[in-house]
């Protein structure tokens, strides 16, 4: 016999939040106003887009130099952020640190995360001038806010059985952490590091806009000069290629780590 579910059974947490989201989005529509002028949108788009093609290959050398600087900024800032984040995340992990240390570090990380990467870049440019060092400083701070949070969550979620076993076999707490907890958390942490590196290459591509080094400066110059959209598209193409390569490599490494960790326990 077919039994109908009561009408309100659909309104679980998921349903209610989705409904609220939908109402909020629809209610916000009046805030989206155009200029009021009668513009030829499609004409504008096609005229603008046509200026992107064909990309100007004559600037390839210069663009690659900018891309290399961007990747270098991303690599150095990610490395610095990893080192700082490992130390901070131990203090921010509920399963490891005492409460008096946990909350100040978490508040500090929240504060860092509140500031977007472009603002960090502006602050760094003001302090150290317009150069790649500003980019490294900006992205290091920005990344620490996220990586330390991810790492501490990884430590909290990691199985602590091996750590406890080593303690009971006579290891000191630090040794039990290094050989019991760290090996289990390491794959997840490395996966976060790769994600952050990908993210930083993207971020390093834009912070040059405010003078913090990398390919962003090229983007700014081409965007501001007339008739350089084909050069602009060349830069975008190079960024797209490098980001796609990183995306593909990162995903494959993450998958292989995942497979290895899940193993074949027959």
Q: Which residues contact 32 (CB under 8 A, 6 or more apart)?
A: none
Closer Cβ to other proteins, 192 or 231, answer by number: 192
Q: Which residues contact 257 (CB under 8 A, 6 or more apart)?
A: 187, 190, 191
* Shortest Å, Cβ 90 to other proteins: 14
Of 194, 197, 191, 193, residue with least CA distance to 74: 197
* Shortest Å, Cβ 172 to other proteins: 6
The 57-96 contact track toward other proteins, x by CB under 8 A, reads ----------------------------------------
Chain residues 139-198 in contact with other proteins, contact rule CB under 8 A = 159, 161-162, 164-166, 168-172, 174-176, 178-181, 183-187
Is 261 one of the binding residues for other proteins (CB under 8 A)?
Answer: yes
* Shortest Å, Cβ 95 to other proteins: 16
Is 29 one of the binding residues for other proteins (CB under 8 A)?
Answer: no
Q: Could you give the angle at the alpha carbon of 195 between the alpha carbons of 209 and 109, nearest 5°?
A: 75
Of 75, 79, 141, residue with least CA distance to 108: 141
Angle of the 60-92 helix axis to the 182-207 helix axis, nearest 10: 140
Phi, psi of 97 (to 5 degrees): -90, 155
Q: Which residues contact 258 (CB under 8 A, 6 or more apart)?
A: 187, 191
* Shortest Å, Cβ 188 to other proteins: 9
* Shortest Å, Cβ 161 to other proteins: 4
Closer Cβ to other proteins, 137 or 188, answer by number: 188
Tell me which residues touch other proteins (CB under 8 A). 159, 161-162, 164-166, 168-172, 174-176, 178-181, 183-187, 260-266
């Amino acid at each position: 016999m077919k039994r109908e579910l009561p009408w309100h059974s659909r309104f679980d947490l998921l349903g209610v939040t989705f409904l609220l989201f939908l109402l909020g989005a629809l209610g916000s529509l009046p805030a989206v106003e155009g200029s009021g002028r009668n513009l030829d949108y499609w004409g504008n788009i096609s005229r603008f887009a046509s200026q992107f093609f064909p990309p100007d290959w004559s600037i390839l050398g210069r663009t690659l130099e900018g891309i290399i600087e961007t990747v270098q900024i991303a690599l150095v800032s990610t490395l610095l952020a990893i080192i700082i984040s490992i130390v901070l995340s131990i203090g921010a992990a509920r399963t490891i640190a005492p409460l008096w240390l946990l909350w100040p570090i978490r508040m500090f990380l929240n504060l860092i995360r509140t500031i977007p990467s472009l603002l960090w870049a502006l602050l760094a440019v003001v302090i150290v001038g317009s150069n790649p060092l500003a980019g490294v400083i900006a992205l290091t701070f920005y990344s620490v806010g996220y990586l330390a949070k991810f790492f501490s969550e990884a430590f909290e979620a990691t199985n602590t059985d091996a750590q406890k076993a080593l303690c009971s076999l006579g290891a000191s707490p630090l040794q039990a952490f290094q050989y019991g907890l760290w090996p289990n958390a390491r794959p997840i942490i490395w996966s976060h590091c790769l994600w952050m590196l990908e993210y930083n290459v993207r971020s390093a591509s834009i912070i040059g806009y405010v003078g913090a080094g990398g390919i962003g400066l090229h983007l700014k110059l081409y965007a501001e000069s007339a008739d350089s959209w084909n050069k602009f598209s060349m830069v975008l193409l190079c960024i797209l290629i490098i980001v796609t390569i990183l995306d593909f490599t990162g995903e494959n490494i993450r998958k292989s780590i995942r497979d290895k960790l899940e193993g074949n326990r027959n």
